[in-house]
Amino acid sequence: MTDFASFWAMLTDVPLVGSIDELMVRGGPVLWWLAAVMLVFWILVLDRVLYFFWLFPKYQHQWVLQWQQRSDRHSWYALSQRTAWLSASESSLKRSLSLMKVLVALFPMLGLLGTVTGMISVFDVMAAQGNSEPRLMAAGISMATIPTMAGMVAALWVCLFIRDCMDWQSANNCT
């Protein structure tokens, strides 16, 4: 445990890591949830990219070879087999897309949840202190604004990524 603590202490000396750690602390627990959802999303994106550029061409080549090795290509059974292969390929390409769409919708929702929890924190401080001391409310305001900003930035970033993927898909005649 002390090795990890000393490693983390060494990393926090680097300005970027220290500021990310500080940002996560100021953003509160909702920002950690947002980071976890973002990590899951990008793991799914990496899975799809690796599948599309590495595995799918191999499967596609295999299906084409199987089709070319068939002597009968015009019967109902042969066309049904071809349709099944095309359906399987389309299904494999679209795997995880619905989960990715749900995660995209979660980004701004988690940001708004951060706003609500931060404002509750501000109101708790106001109720406990009986006044509106700005220094005491600053942590709650940070907890309210940082997750909202992060959720919106994440959603916009992902929407731009999806737009680029759709442009690439249409340019390469993929359906």
Length of the chain: 175
pTM of the model: 0.74
Burial level of 10, CB count in 10 A (0-12/13-18/19+)? exposed
- What distance in Å separates the CA atoms of residue 103 and residue 100, rounded to the nearest whole number? 5
Helix axes 134-171, 15-27, angle to 10 degrees: 110
Q: How many domains does the chain have?
A: 1
Q: Consecutive 10-residue runs of the chain (175 residues): their mean pLDDT?
A: 67 64 86 94 90 86 86 86 85 83 91 90 82 76 88 88 76 61
Say what the pLDDT of residue 73 is: 81
Question: CA of 55: how far to CAs of 27, 61, 62, 68, 88, in Å?
Answer: 39, 10, 11, 20, 14
Residue closest to 150 by CA, chosen among 106, 97, 96, 99: 106
Interatomic CA distance for residues 124 and 156, integer angstroms? 32
Residues of the domain holding 72:
2-171
E-strand stretches of 70-151: none
What integer pLDDT is reported at residue 46 of this predicted model? 92
- pLDDT score at 101: 86
Phi, psi of 173 (to 5 degrees): 55, 40
